Amino acid sequence: MGNETKWAEELAILKAIVRRTELEETLKWGTEVYTYRGKNVLSFAGFKHYFALWFYNGVFLKDEHNVLTNAQEGVTRALRQWRFTSKDDIHETLILDYIAEAIENEKEGKRIKPRSSVSVPIPEIFKQKLDSDKTLMTAFKKLTPYKQNEYNEYIQSAKREETKESRIQKIIPLILKGAGLNDKYKNC
């Protein structure tokens, strides 16, 4: 049983509540996203042990009832998630209050400023490979700083040297094509 199927009734209730607002339903990243004037406000989905409603700029919500969590502490800056484990957890009036506040925040243009991009140093093992392969070095230098950082971080995040080496072998064809690490997932 899929997570969406497991929580089908509960997700249908959330959808009915959200549809009572002025938000527009759209499809992004293969899921329903509710927007205000083209800006993402909220979405919801089922997971293994819970279903959740999340606010893309939930960090600005007052959360007087302490229902919101940061699902990825230290990673996610703005998104906040409201988790439910049964249909009895769904309190329509409270949810509508949170949605109204999220819409108001959107109208006010509240946003977290993007972090300035910091250059990720080239890992030594990759630098050696670049120094020994001039074609690879030239192709790497042609990439945007963002794509270079993506590759450097991908290699650097591996703990074992063997993993770093296998990641380098995996990305060489992408670099030679001028592609970014995650290009295949973009423009979906």
More confidently predicted of 115 and 75: 75
pLDDT tens digit string along 125-154?
A: 999 999 999 999 999 999 998 899 889 999
Asked if residues 181 and 154 have their Cβ atoms less than 8 Å apart, the reply is: yes
pLDDT at 175 over 70: yes
* Backbone angles phi and psi of 131, in degrees to 5: -65, -30
pLDDT at 61 over 80: yes
Single out the residue of 55, 56, 48, 45 nearest to residue 95, CA to CA: 55
Average pLDDT over residues 77-91: 96
Asked if residues 103 and 93 have their Cβ atoms less than 8 Å apart, the reply is: no
Domain boundaries, the chain: 3-107, 124-185
* Long-range Cβ pairs for the range 27-31 (8 Å, 24+): 29/188, 30/188
Structure tokens belonging to residue 58 = 């939930």
Q: Average per-residue pLDDT in the chain?
A: 91
pLDDT tens digit string along 10-53?
A: 999 999 999 999 999 999 988 999 999 999 999 999 999 999 99
Strand positions, DSSP E, 85-176: none
Predicted TM-score (pTM) of this structure? 0.63
Reported CATH class of domain 3-107: alpha beta
